[in-house]
């Protein structure tokens, strides 16, 4: 077989394995990176010896990996919009500053103490392992639907720390290979590459956005042209940055992606989908090729020390960095625990470590072994365990909420959002008015700008995983259509619609949705104020800290227990006010025994007690 035929065969095999890994990952709901790494090792020289990365040549492999990383980083940054960052801006800032610093120092100290390397080599390893990266975080977030603030924090950290790790590692490497130099060279090299990346990225991203806007006026194939131009922009930004200064291309690609992602360009959603497909392709190819290049001898040479470093990095350094960087933020303790357990490393440390090791090995083989062995061992361990167990970890922490969609960002919608969020529920509002959207977003709510009568907008807001949809606009026609879409297309369990005109109540009820007549609701509120003033005042007080909760009993440990026995297990300040069974409601006495599936109405003094009571009744 000729060299060309061997190269073609290797490429086709790698691509086929990548596609297979993606299909298996989708089927098992596990991030695909884990399967890509295993596939690469199996077909590499260390196992079946079917694919030898040397067939691409050192220069060719470096170019392929570099351009692929540029596309991957650009695509991740393209989705890093201002609105996305706002979801967890404080936490993200902490993760890319305090968190990155703790990761660098903690990892460097661990490598230095365990392996006895020089400080420059230890700092080099620590620099590379700052990166988590969109290549591993994004697939995890696709199969683990955590709250948006958690996903936004992790994704922002991944994109920014990818750039930070690559540039800092290159700057540190220059110090490592220089026989006589000052540590100041690291700072100078870091700042220089970051500056070059910003200049090139802003120029390419801004220029491409202007080009697309003007082209859109006259081009017949605007969508096709937009896709090609954006892909070319990603490659151009990386190439220009790298030609100016080595590894500045990663920063340039990231900045260009952020600029374009936040610009109003034609066919933006279609372009994003197209780039996602390209990224999936190159990610599969590069991960398999790099894994195939891994020498198991490097991992064995680390011995027990390698496992010790992995444990320190994943189980000590990462949680400590997350804890310190998210103090005082919006994340709950359980969400901080999840973020602390999610630090998988990706393509940037793998590719850069491989290239550095090739250059280091002739002069310092021991340092090269520690570098590539530690980096790949951490990648394997974090991807396989953290990536593979991410969904189970999130389920164990009970941080996978079903969403509540509220259509209408007016007074009613915003008040409902405040109430639901105080109960720990994930709420998304939808409104078509731009001023209302900005006002609602300023109040700290997550809001989608668009027409909710459009199924695409509902899907974008998360209707596919919504347990409740509330149509609360002042327009009955809008509420009726939203209710119809929620029940027929998205099969939402609970749909509640606001009927502003009494004559329209019958039309809503024909859809078999819970209908709240605005006139009747006012009458009920007045009646409550007269007949039940204390309860009415408490329920209407915006400053109250508790609420009334109805929850279905599914915790076997509470089944067949009396109300008196159950009260001992409920949080302080919670009591069972009513039990609904088979459509019959009753106020239970202390000897009443509960059954599986009973609906319990609980009155709780605090939001914390209410959330704990919900988890207890549901078996959390």
Render 550-563 in DSSP notation, one character per residue: EEE---GGGTT-BH
Q: What is the average per-residue pLDDT within 589-597?
A: 90
8 A C-beta contact, residue 405 and residue 458: yes
Q: Which of 249, 272, 274, 273 minimizes the C-alpha distance to 261?
A: 272
How would residue 572 be classed by pLDDT, with cut points 50, 70 and 90? confident
Predicted local distance difference test score (pLDDT) of residue 43? 83
How would residue 612 be classed by pLDDT, with cut points 50, 70 and 90? confident
d(CA 265, CA 233) in angstroms, rounded, equals: 14
Of the candidate ranges 318-332, 445-459, 516-530, 586-600, the one whose mean pLDDT is the lowest? 516-530
Gyration radius from the chain CA atoms: 28
Residue 539, pLDDT > 70, answer no
DSSP three-state, residue 270: helix
**Can 403-524 and 544-618 be said to share one CATH topology?**
no
CATH number of 403-524: 3.40.50.720
d(CA 503, CA 541) in angstroms, rounded, equals: 31
d(CA 105, CA 101) in angstroms, rounded, equals: 6
Residue 209, pLDDT > 80, answer yes
Predicted local distance difference test score (pLDDT) of residue 182? 67
Residue 574 phi, psi dihedral angles, 5° rounding: -125, 140
Predicted local distance difference test score (pLDDT) of residue 321? 94
Predicted local distance difference test score (pLDDT) of residue 323? 94
DSSP three-state, residue 548: strand
Whole-model pTM: value is: 0.67
Predicted local distance difference test score (pLDDT) of residue 219? 52
Q: What is the mean pLDDT of the chain?
A: 82
DSSP three-state, residue 526: helix
8 A C-beta contact, residue 152 and residue 127: no
Q: Which of 288, 280, 265 minimizes the C-alpha distance to 50?
A: 288
Residue 220, pLDDT > 90, answer no
Predicted local distance difference test score (pLDDT) of residue 346? 77
How would residue 389 be classed by pLDDT, with cut points 50, 70 and 90? confident
544-618 folds as: Alpha-Beta Plaits (3.30.70)
> At what angle are helices 347-360 and 365-381 packed, to 10 degrees?
170
Q: In this predicted model, what pLDDT tens digit does every residue of 73-114 receive, in sequence order?
A: 888 788 777 766 666 678 888 998 999 999 999 999 999 999
DSSP three-state, residue 586: strand
Q: In what order do the strands lie in the sheet with 403-407?
A: 446-449, 426-431, 403-407, 466-471, 494-499, 514-517
70-396 folds as: Na+/H+ antiporter like fold (1.20.1530)
Q: In this predicted model, what pLDDT tens digit does every residue of 323-378 receive, in sequence order?
A: 999 888 778 888 899 999 988 887 788 878 877 887 787 778 888 888 888 988 89
Predicted local distance difference test score (pLDDT) of residue 48? 79
Would you list the domain boundaries of the chain? Answer: 70-396, 403-524, 544-618
How would residue 314 be classed by pLDDT, with cut points 50, 70 and 90? very high
Of the candidate ranges 152-156, 312-316, 524-528, the one whose mean pLDDT is the lowest? 524-528
Predicted local distance difference test score (pLDDT) of residue 20? 83
Name the residue with higher pLDDT: 354 or 210. 210
8 A C-beta contact, residue 607 and residue 545: yes
- Specify which of 68-77, 287-296, 307-316 reaches the highest per-range mean pLDDT: 307-316
d(CA 609, CA 615) in angstroms, rounded, equals: 10
Length of the chain: 620
How would residue 317 be classed by pLDDT, with cut points 50, 70 and 90? very high
């Amino acid at each position: 077989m000729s060299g060309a035929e061997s190269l073609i065969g290797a490429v086709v095999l790698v691509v086929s394995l990548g596609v297979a890994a993606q299909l298996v990952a989708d089927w098992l709901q596990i991030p695909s990176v884990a399967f890509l790494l295993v596939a690469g090792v199996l077909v590499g020289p260390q196992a079946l010896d079917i694919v030898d990365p040397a067939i691409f040549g050192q220069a060719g492999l470096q170019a392929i990996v570099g351009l692929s990383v540029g596309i991957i980083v650009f695509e991740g940054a393209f989705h890093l919009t201002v609105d996305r960052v706002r979801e967890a801006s404080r936490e993200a800032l902490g993760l890319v500053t305090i968190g990155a610093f703790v990761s660098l120092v903690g990892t460097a100290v661990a490598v230095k103490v365990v392996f006895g390397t020089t400080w420059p080599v230890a700092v080099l390893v620590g620099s590379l392992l700052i990166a988590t990266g969109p290549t591993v975080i994004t697939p995890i977030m696709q199969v683990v639907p955590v709250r948006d603030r958690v996903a936004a924090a992790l994704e922002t950290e991944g994109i920014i720390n990818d750039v930070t790790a690559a540039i800092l590692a290159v700057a540190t490497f220059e110090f490592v290979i220089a026989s006589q130099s000052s540590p100041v060279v690291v700072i100078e090299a870091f700042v220089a590459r970051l500056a070059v990346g910003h200049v090139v990225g802003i120029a390419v991203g801004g220029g491409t956005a202007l080009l697309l806007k003007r082209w859109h006026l006259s081009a017949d194939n605007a969508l096709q042209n937009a896709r090609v131009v954006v892909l070319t922009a990603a490659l151009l930004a990386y190439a220009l940055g790298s030609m100016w200064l080595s590894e500045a291309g990663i920063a340039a690609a990231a900045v260009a992606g952020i600029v374009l992602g936040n610009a109003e360009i034609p066919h933006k959603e279609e372009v994003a989908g197209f780039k996602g497909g390209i990224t999936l392709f190159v990610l599969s190819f590069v991960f398999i090729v790099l894994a195939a290049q891994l020498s198991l001898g490097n991992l064995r040479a680390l011995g027990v020390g390698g496992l010790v470093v992995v444990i320190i990095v994943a189980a000590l350094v990462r949680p400590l960095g997350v804890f310190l960087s998210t103090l005082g933020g919006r994340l709950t303790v359980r969400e901080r625990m999840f973020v602390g357990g999610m630090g998988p490393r990706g393509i940037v440390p793998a590719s850069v470590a491989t290239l550095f090791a090739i250059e280091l090995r002739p002069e310092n083989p021991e340092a090269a072994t520690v570098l590539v062995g530690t980096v790949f061992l951490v990648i394997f361990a974090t991807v396989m365990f953290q990536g593979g167990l991410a969904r189970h970890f999130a389920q164990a922490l009970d941080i996978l909420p079903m969403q509540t969609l509220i259509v209408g960002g007016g007074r009613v919608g915003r008040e409902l959002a405040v109430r639901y969020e105080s109960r720990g529920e994930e709420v998304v509002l939808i409104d078509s008015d731009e001023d209302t959207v900005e006002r609602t977003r300023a109040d700290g709510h997550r809001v989608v700008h668009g027409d909710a009568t459009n199924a695409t907008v509902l899907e974008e807001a998360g209707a596919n995983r919504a347990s409740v949809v509330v149509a609360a606009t002042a327009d009955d026609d809008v509420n009726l259509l939203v209710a119809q879409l929620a029940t027929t297309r998205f099969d939402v369990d609970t749909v509640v619609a606001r009927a502003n005109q009494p004559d329209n109540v019958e039309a809503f009820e024909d859809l078999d949705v819970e209908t709240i007549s605005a006139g009747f609701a006012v009458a009920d509120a007045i009646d409550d104020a007269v007949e039940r003033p204390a309860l009415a005042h408490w329920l209407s007080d915006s400053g109250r800290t508790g609420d009334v909760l109805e929850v279905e009993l599914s915790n076997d440990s509470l089944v067949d227990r009396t109300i008196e026995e159950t009260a001992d297990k409920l949080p302080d300040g919670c009591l069972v006010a009513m039990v609904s069974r088979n459509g019959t409601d009753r106020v239970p006495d202390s000897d009443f025994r509960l059954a599986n599936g009973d609906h319990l109405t609980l009155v709780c003094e605090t939001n914390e007690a209410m959330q704990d009571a919900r988890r207890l009744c549901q078996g959390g």
